[in-house]
Structures are given as structure tokens and as C-alpha cells.
């Protein structure tokens, strides 16, 4: 990969120069006042983006570290946890539940579909002793968005904690942690926030702290109580040495998110998603996700007959320097995915669809030249 490669994968996304430049600042003492101030400002912005008054914590680790922190701090041996599983990341939360000794009650959702809130209500009602319900907001393996607002409304009637993974949606789709009643919400740096990979964030409300304080589970590096204690120090700290450069990056990236404005940024992601779907369909391609359940931040497209994953994504990569993502697990070879998150917009999508058209033509597909780009243009013109 060279630095002209266009990353059209669902994270990591292209990182703006402002953020890269911020990372080149000198390293300071992570226990000193200067870092404390930067950390405090960054976590305050993180809470603004989560749309909660509760504090947020930065973790040195990828999104999965925050998934593990969420589970490790609330699940002890024998605890019942309801896991919504409709893709790879739903599955990961279930696996974590089991690793920490929890008994998983699975709500199985066919890949490509969103969970039905009525089904959640039925299962929570039947298992009102469950400690938590886990849900992935934006299931990146299937390009599906789950109805966290509607499920949050249901969960307000139960003591069961609502744990939501917004790794591939925060800052690109609506996530109102406090309004929706998300008890624990977590995210990653490298997706819609457009910072490099390697940092995660988590926010926890009072109901969740009550559970965490009483949970006797094996945890050390990911102990949220230690993060809370260090975060409350003056100057603010992290329990162990943080990734100082990544903190600078997150500070700059979150500043950019808030400068653009959350609503404007989410709208921009909506337009990119709509344009991507329109362009794909104009080329005769079929979307993988169920209509109405489409993700705002990435699109999964069925691999058309007559071309292999290696041929399609290989040509895009080797001839045009554009990286697309493949399918995961049983979708490997059957779908390819286009990320339209972070700062990705018309410029990147135009290049992607121009080259995708040329790739498909090379493998014998027929459509009017420029049909995909024309469809993109139409969506952008009306928005």
C-alpha cells in the first residue's frame, strides 16, 4: 500500500492531515498537568459526541478492548446475558459473555436483517433476571443498522443493562446515549471519528456503575473502576500509561467532529450512504442488507455472478489503488463492502464508482458507461 491508496473500507478510514499533524507533537509526562488537561478536554468532547452528561474513558486498545471492558465489568460466572447476534460483532459480544462465564441467551437475527424490537421485548420479558442485553448498533459485517432508540425505549422498563457497540456508527449515525437510555456505550477511533486505529472509548451511567461495583469478575487492565478513579484525579489520568500520541489524535479528530456539527456530519453520512446504494443499483448490483435496515456508514454489495472477490477487489486494489473490504465468515467471497465513513464523501465515492465501473466492464459486465457516477451525482444534487 502506498500513500495514494484510497481506503474505502469500513475502518480504518483516511485520517485528515490535521489529525496526523497533531500526533507529531512531543510526548509529555502522562502524569503531569499538561496531559491531564488534554485528556480532560478529549474525554469531555467524547461525552459530547456520545451525547451524555456522564464521563467517558479512553482505552489504549482497539474497539474490541472496549467491548471486552463492557462485558468484563458486568458479567460474572453464571450471569444471564441476552446477546443479539446478527453478524460477526454481535457474535463477538456473545463470545466475550461466555469467556467471562456468562450464560448467553441468544436472539438470533438472520445476517442482513436488523433485530425486531418486539422480539427483544419478548425475550427480555421472559428473562427479566438477565444482567444485560448486548446490541451492535451498526453491524459492520452485514451493513445493517439496528434500532437502538426503539430498543432503548423498551429497556427503560427493565433492570437489565443495555450495552451498545457503536464502533462503526458513532459520529456517523444517531447515537444519543442519554436520550436512548444506553447504560454502557462504546466506540473505536478509526471509523466515523476518522482518527487512526488503536484507541477506544466507553461511557457508563449510574445504573451500570451500580452493577459494576457489585460484579466480582476477573479483570485488571480493563477495570472500569480504576479508570473512573484515575479520571477523577486532578489532573485527570489513566490507570496505566496511555497512548499519548493517540490522545492528541483523538482530541483533534473530535474537535473536527464538533466543528462540523454532529447533525451535519450524520446528514453527510446519510447522503453518502444513499448515493452509494443508488450508484451500486445503477450498475445492476444487488445490496446485501434488507431494505430499510441499511447502514449509514457502509454498504454491503452482493458479489455479482461472473467475477470473483479476488478479481473484483484485486483489480480495484492493484490497478486503481482503491481498497474495498471483503465479506466476513460465510459472506467471504459472497459480498464486498464499501465504507463511507469519516471524511469520505463525493470525491472519494466518485473515484470509487468510476473505477468499479471500469473493473466490472473489464470482466464483461454491461451497463451504460457512467451510470453509477450519474446516480451518485443525482443524490448529491438533491441534498
Residues that bind ligand PLP (CB under 6 A): 11, 62-64, 67, 89, 136, 138, 140, 165, 167-168, 188
Provide the minimum distance between the beta carbon of 89 and ligand PLP in the complex, in angstroms, as a whole number: 4
Gap between the Cα atoms of 209 and 212, Å rounded: 5
Q: Which is nearer to ligand PLP, 54 or 64 (CB)?
A: 64
Closest distance between ligand PLP and the C-beta of residue 325, in Å?
9
Rounded Cα gap, residues 326 and 337, in angstroms: 6
Cβ nearer to ligand PLP, comparing 164 with 275: 164
Task: Tell me the β-bridge partners of 184.
Answer: 163, 204
CB 138 → ligand PLP: shortest distance, Å? Answer: 6
Instruction: Answer yes or no: are the C-beta atoms of 83 and 104 closer than 8 Å.
Output: yes
Residue (90 or 372) nearer to ligand PLP, CB: 90
CA distance 13 to 118: 35
Inter-residue contact 194 to 253 (CB < 8 Å):
yes
128, 132, 135, 137: CA torsion to nearest 10: 110
**Crossing angle for the helix pair 244-260 and 262-282, to the nearest 10 degrees:** 80
- Residue 8: CB minimum distance to ligand PLP, A: 14
SS3 of residue 209 by DSSP:
helix
Phi-psi region of 209 (alpha: psi -120 to 50; beta: other; left: phi over 0): alpha
For ligand PLP, the closer CB: 70 or 307: 70
What is the closest distance, in whole angstroms, from the C-beta atom of residue 100 to ligand PLP in the complex? 17
Residue 93 or residue 120: which is nearer to ligand PLP going by CB?
Answer: 93
Tell me whether residue 65 or residue 237 sits nearer to ligand PLP (CB atom): 65
Q: Indicate the pairing of strand 298-302 with strand 56-60.
A: unpaired
Smallest separation (angstroms) from ligand PLP to the CB of 11: 6
Nearest approach, Cβ of 7 to ligand PLP (angstroms)? Answer: 13
Which residue has the closest beta carbon to ligand PLP? 63
CA distance 58 to 67: 13
**Residue 196 beta carbon to ligand PLP: minimum distance, rounded to whole angstroms:** 11
CA–CA separation, 2 and 321 (whole Å): 8
Q: What Å distances lie between residue 377 and 7, 135, 255, 342, 381, CA to CA?
A: 21, 35, 29, 20, 6
* Residue 151 CB contacts under 8 Å (≥ 6 apart), including other chains: 115, 117, 120, 133, 135, 162
Q: Which residue, 64 or 230, has its beta carbon nearer to ligand PLP?
A: 64
Length of the chain measured in residues:
383
User: How would you classify residue 278: left for phi > 0, otherwise alpha for psi between -120 and 50, otherwise beta?
Assistant: alpha
Taking the complex as a whole, the smallest distance from the CB of residue 191 to ligand PLP amounts, in Å, to 7
8 Å CB contact between 130 and 81: yes
User: Which residue, 325 or 360, has its beta carbon nearer to ligand PLP?
Assistant: 325
Tell me the C-alpha to C-alpha distance, in Å, between residue 93 and each of 134, 194, 220: 7, 24, 19
**188 or 342, CB closer to ligand PLP?**
188
Amino acid at each position: 500500500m502506498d500513500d495514494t491508496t484510497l481506503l474505502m473500507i469500513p475502518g480504518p478510514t483516511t485520517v485528515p492531515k490535521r489529525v496526523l499533524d497533531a500526533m507529531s507533537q512531543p510526548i509529555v509526562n502522562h502524569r503531569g498537568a499538561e496531559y491531564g488537561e488534554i485528556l480532560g478536554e478529549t474525554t469531555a468532547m467524547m461525552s459530547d459526541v456520545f451525547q451524555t452528561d456522564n464521563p467517558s474513558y479512553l482505552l489504549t486498545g482497539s474497539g474490541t478492548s472496549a467491548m471486552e471492558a463492557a462485558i468484563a465489568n458486568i458479567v460474572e460466572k453464571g450471569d444471564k446475558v441476552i446477546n443479539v447476534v446478527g453478524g460477526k460483532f454481535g457474535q463477538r459480544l456473545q463470545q466475550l459473555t461466555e469467556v467471562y462465564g456468562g450464560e448467553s441467551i441468544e436472539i438470533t437475527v438472520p445476517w442482513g436483517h436488523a433485530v425486531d424490537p418486539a422480539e427483544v421485548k419478548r425475550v427480555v420479558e421472559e428473562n427479566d433476571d438477565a444482567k444485560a442485553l448486548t446490541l451492535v448498533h451498526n453491524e459492520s459485517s452485514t451493513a445493517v443498522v439496528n434500532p437502538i432508540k426503539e430498543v432503548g425505549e423498551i429497556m427503560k422498563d427493565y433492570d437489565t443493562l443495555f450495552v451498545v457497540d457503536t464502533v462503526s456508527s458513532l459520529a456517523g449515525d444517531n447515537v444519543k446515549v442519554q436520550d436512548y437510555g444506553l447504560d454502557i456505550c462504546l466506540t473505536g477511533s478509526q471509523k466515523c471519528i476518522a482518527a487512526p486505529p488503536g484507541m477506544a472509548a466507553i461511557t457508563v451511567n449510574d445504573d451500570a456503575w451500580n452493577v459494576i461495583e457489585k460484579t466480582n469478575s476477573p479483570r485488571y487492565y480493563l477495570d472500569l473502576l480504576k479508570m473512573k478513579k484515575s479520571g477523577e484525579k486532578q489532573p485527570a489520568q489513566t490507570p496505566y500509561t496511555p497512548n499519548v500520541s493517540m490522545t492528541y489524535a483523538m482530541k483533534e479528530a473530535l474537535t473536527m467532529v464538533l466543528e462540523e456539527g454532529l447533525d451535519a456530519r450524520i446528514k453527510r453520512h446519510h447522503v453518502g450512504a444513499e448515493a452509494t446504494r443508488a450508484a451500486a443499483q445503477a450498475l445492476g448490483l444487488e445490496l446485501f442488507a434488507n431494505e430499510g435496515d441499511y447502514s449509514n456508514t457502509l454498504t454491503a454489495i452482493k458479489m455479482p455472478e461472473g467475477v470473483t472477490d479476488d478479481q473484483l477487489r484485486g483489480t480495484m486494489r492493484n490497478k486503481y489503488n482503491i481498497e474495498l473490504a471483503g465479506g466476513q465468515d460465510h459472506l467471504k467471497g459472497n459480498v464486498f463492502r464499501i465504507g463511507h465513513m469519516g471524511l469520505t464523501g463525493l470525491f472519494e465515492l466518485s473515484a470509487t464508482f468510476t473505477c468499479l465501473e471500469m473493473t466490472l466492464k473489464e470482466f464483461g459486465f454491461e451497463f451504460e458507461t457512467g451510470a453509477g457516477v450519474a446516480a451518485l451525482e443525482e443524490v448529491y444534487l438533491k441534498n
